[in-house]
Amino acid sequence: MKIAILPGDGIGTEIMAEAVKVLAVLDLKFETETALVGGAAYEAHGHPLPEGTLNLAKAADAVLFGAVGDWKYDKLERQFRPEQAILGLRKHLGLFANFRPAICYEQLTHASSLKPELVAGLDILIIRELTGDIYFGQPRGRRVAIDGHFPGAEEAFDTMRYSKPEIERIAHVAFQAARRRNKKVTSVDKANVLETFQFWKDVVTEVHAQYPDVALEHMYVDNAAMQLVKAPKAFDVVVTGNMFGDILSDEAAMLTGSIGMLPSASLDKSNKGLYEPSHGSAPDIAGKGVANPLATILSAAMMLRYTLNQPEAADRIESAVKAVLSAGLRTGDIWSEGTQRVGTRAMGDAVVAALSGKTITTITKG
Ligand code: IPM
Ligand code: MG
């Protein structure tokens, strides 16, 4: 087994170091190879997703990804911006199914901006289609308008589109995931306005016929955004398109107190995957040793479970993370009165200690 390690930019390198440390104590047989991606790759090779990095990702059994992006690249031509690396990996590896769990850990119920009773025990799964929709739809670009409200004016346009097989395969993924959970799927659309999402709704309904044991509800995206903060526990699996999924998954993440806790998986049709924390590169705190490495560590656990067939090792990591939280250790993003503030490295060390069965008492500085 080979894991491609792509730390990326900003806090990416710091959080990845902790995840690699955790993987190393598990006593599993795998090889790792590290490569540059995002802004770091652009600086070194003039492209955010150099061929060597892409080939490594393709050849590996799984990819563990940190984060990419920095404001300093905002002025670059789009094709050279760090975000193109993750979009390119999704496209070239065919990673169409994005799993974004939003789990509120018991120990962090009070870190949520919502009332504790609304989020206590929250465990929902957002499944976002990741290689279609307005993100990848062609044509797109800038031109002079020939119609619309201002003919002759400069305009920009993107194309929202979904083919039937694209919707079918993500619907299957969602229904199958729901079968392993609480057997409910909420399909989020904008069928009242958009042709693409009326089609989405029709196709999801058709696929549902094969899953009579799973309940299906349809919800408009604006209402879903509202229900997520009103009664988030009413959801189980949410399935939606690329654009709506981008927005709703950030919203859902925040219900749990910190996006710094949430892992994600992006899978292809044979469960090969890229695993990354749901948060970004946080350039404002990069290099300070204060970032929360738990989302990346939990992403490594997801990788062991979904792609590398090591569910026990995944369980061990997840239990170790809970043990560390129960011991009261917190990075700044999840810190609250009465808990102990620690840095990135100390948090990683504590997870390693918990994995080795040590009581978490001695804390490394930094
Ligand atoms: C995400 C991010 C990406 C997206 C960006 C970095 C391109 O926001 O993974 O949610 O929009 O998909
Ligand atoms: Mg996003």
Per-residue pLDDT tens digits for 128-143: 999 999 999 999 999 9
Tokens 């300093």 correspond to 72
Decide: pTM greater than 0.95: no
User: Which atom number of ligand 1 is nearest to the Cα of residue 86?
Assistant: 7
User: Which atom number of ligand 1 is nearest to the Cα of residue 68?
Assistant: 6
Residue 100, beta-bridge partner list: 126
Which of 6, 80, 77, 72 lies closest to 42 in space, CA to CA? 80
- Going by their DSSP bridges, the two strands 215-220 and 97-103 should be labelled as unpaired
pLDDT at 319: 96
Q: Assign 250 to helix, strand or coil.
A: helix
Whose alpha carbon is nearest atom 10 of ligand 1? 246
Query: Nearest ligand to the C-alpha of residue 280?
Result: 1
* Cβ pair 66, 12 in contact under 8 A: yes
Convert the pLDDT of each residue in 249-303 to its tens digit. 999 998 998 888 999 999 999 999 999 999 999 999 999 999 999 999 999 999 9
Distance 27 CA to ligand 2 centre (A): 34
Q: Which two tokens mark 42? A: 């652009």
Domains 1-96+268-366 and 101-128+160-263 share a fold: yes
For range 35-51, the mean pLDDT: 97
For range 9-29, the mean pLDDT: 95
Ligand 1 test: best mutation among 87, 95, 249, most atoms within 8 Å of CB? 87
DSSP state of 152: T
Question: What CATH class does 101-128+160-263 carry?
Answer: alpha beta
For 343, other C-beta atoms within 10 Å of its C-beta total 21
Amino acid type, 215: A
Q: Any residues with CB less than 8 A from the CB of 347 and at least 6 apart, and which?
A: 18, 292, 293, 294, 324, 329, 331
DSSP state of 145: -
Superfamily the domain 1-96+268-366 falls into: Isopropylmalate Dehydrogenase (3.40.718.10)
Convert the pLDDT of each residue in 66-85 to its tens digit. 999 999 999 999 999 999 99
User: Which atom number of ligand 1 is nearest to the Cα of residue 90?
Assistant: 12
Q: Assign 129 to helix, strand or coil.
A: strand
What residues does each domain of the chain span? Answer: 1-96+268-366, 101-128+160-263
Whose alpha carbon is nearest atom 8 of ligand 1? 246
Q: CA–CA separation, 112 vs 235, rounded Å?
A: 17
Convert the pLDDT of each residue in 300-327 to its tens digit. 999 999 999 999 999 999 999 999 999 9
Q: Assign 300 to helix, strand or coil.
A: helix
Q: Is 251 in the pocket of ligand 1 (CB under 6 A)?
A: no
Dihedral angle, C-alpha 177, 179, 182, 183, nearest 10 °: 110
